[in-house]
Amino acid sequence: MEIAMFPARTDPTLEPLAFFGLNPHSTDEGIRELKSGLPVEGWAALVHALDTTEKALAEVVQLPLTTLARRKKTGRFTPEESERLLRIARLVAQAQQVFRTEQGVARWFKKPNRALGGKTPLEYASTPIGAEEVERVLERLLDGGPA
């Protein structure tokens, strides 16, 4: 499975929703999708994009594997789970702009980073505060600065 490299959109906030097979045409539509719960199809796309295991991603988004199995049956995540998944999808979309290859994105998320206290970007992104710091590191890289 190849991850989608997202073309520039007028609202980059909506780009990560493509992982979930969604293409909202407005912020309001994106908000409605998030409140309805994201479709589970995006789970496999994120696991693939990060070249990680379901267990590792589940730990990052604080989703027990038993709950993940139930969500796969119902077809949607809860709004709260969706927000955590969107946080990771947003970072992946941003990393795609920096690294431009599947391998580069996956490798960066799994490699310990000094700017993140020696933790990997994926594990650091398990909280909103940590995800914001990962985003800042990606912004510095995009601007050509040190990570």
Domain borders along the chain are 12-142
Give per-residue burial for 30-61: e unless 16+ CB within 10 Å, then b.
Answer: beebbeebbbbebbebbbebbebebeebbbbb
Instruction: Evaluate if residue 10 carries a pLDDT over 50.
Output: no
Instruction: Evaluate if residue 2 carries a pLDDT over 60.
Output: no
How far apart (Å, rounded) are the C-alpha atoms in residues 94 and 86? Answer: 12
* pLDDT value at residue 121: 97
Task: Convert the pLDDT of each residue in 71-86 to its tens digit.
Answer: 999 999 999 999 999 9
* pLDDT value at residue 125: 96
Structure tokens at 3: 């991850």
Percent with pLDDT over 90 in the chain: 80
Structure tokens at 56: 């590792």
pTM: predicted TM-score of the whole model, two decimal places: 0.86
Compute the average pLDDT of residues 121-142: 95
Cα dihedral across residues 61, 66, 67, 68: positive or negative: positive
For residue 51, the 8-state DSSP code is T
Instruction: Evaluate if residue 41 carries a pLDDT over 80.
Output: yes
Structure tokens at 94: 């941003």
Query: Given the structure tokens 């589940």, which residue do they identify?
Result: 58
Task: Convert the pLDDT of each residue in 85-127 to its tens digit.
Answer: 999 999 999 999 899 899 999 999 999 999 999 999 999 999 9
